[in-house]
Amino acid sequence: PAHVHVLSPMLTLQGAVAHVDMPIESGPTMLLPHSHKYGPGYLAWRRPEVIDLFAERHVQTELRAGDAVFFNPAVLHGAGTNHTAGEHGIKRMGNLLQISSAMGIALEAVDRDRMCRAVLSALQTRHADGWSAAALDRVITATAFGYPFPTNLDLDPPIDGLAPPSQADLLREAVLNGSLAAEFDAALDAYAARRRTH
């Protein structure tokens, strides 16, 4: 639906970090300024007239190693052509980033269960060393899934509230209570089992 295409760019920030110098001839990202204002953008990028406009009016900026570029993902964009070649050609290297809103779902799969298990001990140490609740919450928010849905409400009913505990709630509780790794592993396994549909 059209309204989804209009709203979806507001849930993501697109970007790239250059790991090597990328002069124009090496083909850094091409961007079409103001194209995010064109409503049918996502749907129209394959139209011949849009392809021609992009080819005619796109811009590129030279990037130095360590530079970052961030932009609205609705800006029409694409990789440039690397015109350097041979032994002294530039091998472009960069990290492409999509920073997703908490109100959306990320493009790539993230194994949050494994991440939670990996950070438990370090967070318990930081907590014992006096880290603030805000500092702990920042790490927990970045690591664990904080939204308790979707779930199987027959197996995972809300307790003391309108929603069942989230993965972030379990990690926070394990940090504050000093749970053993085996106890936390069992809690995460039970959490996953409650969310199954069959």
The model's pLDDT over 101-153, given as tens digits with 9 standing for 90+, comes to: 877 777 778 899 999 999 999 999 999 999 999 999 999 999 999 989 889 99
Query: Is residue 44 included in any domain, yes or no?
Result: yes
Query: Is residue 106 included in any domain, yes or no?
Result: no
Domain count, the chain: 2
My answer on whether 136 and 171 are in the same domain is: yes
Query: Is residue 105 included in any domain, yes or no?
Result: no
pLDDT value at residue 50: 93
Q: Is residue 34 very low, low, confident or very high in pLDDT (cuts 50, 70, 90)? A: very high
For residue 145, the enclosing domain spans 112-194
My answer on whether 90 and 161 are in the same domain is: no
Q: Which amino acid is at 5?
A: H
Compute the distance between CA of residue 67 and CA of residue 40 in angstroms, rounded to an integer: 31
Q: Which amino acid is at 10?
A: M
Angle CA(157)–CA(163)–CA(165) in degrees, nearest 5?
85
My answer on whether 6 and 96 are in the same domain is: yes
Compute the distance between CA of residue 193 and CA of residue 21 in angstroms, rounded to an integer: 48
My answer on whether 116 and 92 are in the same domain is: no
